[in-house]
């Protein structure tokens, strides 16, 4: 009888350990699958580095450069910071975007389809330069595309 109780005790303990282990493994898998885009991109500094690269490419582009020509350094720094804040906060990072809404902000700039495709080309080149994996690249590209309806004015 005593031996039987000890056996049952060991069986229950094993069962509990297996269940706990399984639970931990399961929750580990679930959290990896549900990590924010912000985390998957490598956090604030990684997002800032890619954004800086894109920003430089946009300003240096022959057609797009007109949007940033003759702007003061301080205004450019402010815009860059707001762009980082916008992306970080939209990707689930710990930042509150204090800037303007996409539509009223860009309205009147006469941004056209060609501007848009040039901008997306620069974004993709920067993501490739920083070796951002394909899942995250698709997510970032998808996020940018989601803002297009508020930004492109001239079809
Ligand atoms: C061809 C595409 C685009 C062009 C030409 C463009 C142009 C500009 C320009 C000239 C400004 C400065 C406005 C000002 O100082 O008053 C600006 C600001 C900004 N843009 Fe864009 N933009 C484009 C696409 C985008 C996209 C795709 C996003 C978001 C993913 C974005 C987010 C922002 C933000 C957050 C600001 C600063 C907001 C603020 O000042 O409150 N832009 N953009």
pLDDT digits (tens, 9 = 90+) for 69-122: 999 999 999 999 999 999 999 999 999 999 999 999 999 999 999 999 999 999
Residue of 57, 151, 153 to test ligand 1 pocket, by largest number of atoms within 8 Å of CB: 151
Per-residue pLDDT, averaged over 132-136, amounts to 98
Q: For residue 44, what are its two tokens?
A: 């604030």
User: What whole-number percentage of the chain has pLDDT above 90?
Assistant: 77
Backbone dihedral angles phi then psi of residue 53, each to the nearest 5 degrees: -65, -45
Look up residue 93 and give its two tokens.
């990072």
Nearest ligand 1 atom to the CA of 87 is 30
What integer is the mean pLDDT of 41-49? 98
Residue 119 alpha carbon, nearest atom of ligand 1: 1
Counting every residue, how long is the chain? 155
36-73 residues labelled b (16+ CB within 10 A) or e (exposed): ebbebbeeeeebbebbebbbebbeebeebeebeeeeee
pLDDT digits (tens, 9 = 90+) for 11-26: 544 434 343 443 334 3
Mean pLDDT rounded to a whole number for the chain: 87
Question: Which pLDDT score, from 0 to 100, does residue 4 have?
Answer: 56
Average confidence (pLDDT) over 4-11: 51
- 106 Cα to the center of ligand 1, angstroms: 6
Task: Report pTM.
Answer: 0.84
User: Which helix (H) or strand (E) segment is 2 a member of?
Assistant: helix 2-33
């Amino acid at each position: 009888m005593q031996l039987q109780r000890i056996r049952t005790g060991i069986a229950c303990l094993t069962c509990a350990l297996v269940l706990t282990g399984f639970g931990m493994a399961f929750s580990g898998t679930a959290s990896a699958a549900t990590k924010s885009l912000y985390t998957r991109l490598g956090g604030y500094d990684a997002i800032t580095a890619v954004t800086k690269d894109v920003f430089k490419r946009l300003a240096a582009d022959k057609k797009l450069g007109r949007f940033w020509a003759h702007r003061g350094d301080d205004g450019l720094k402010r815009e860059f910071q707001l762009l980082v804040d916008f992306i970080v906060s939209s990707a689930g990072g710990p930042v509150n975007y204090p800037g303007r809404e996409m539509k009223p902000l860009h309205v009147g700039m006469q941004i056209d389809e060609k501007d848009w495709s040039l901008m997306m080309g620069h974004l993709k080149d920067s993501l490739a330069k920083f070796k951002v994996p394909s899942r995250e690249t698709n997510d970032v590209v998808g996020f940018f595309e989601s803002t297009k309806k508020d930004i492109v004015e001239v079809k």
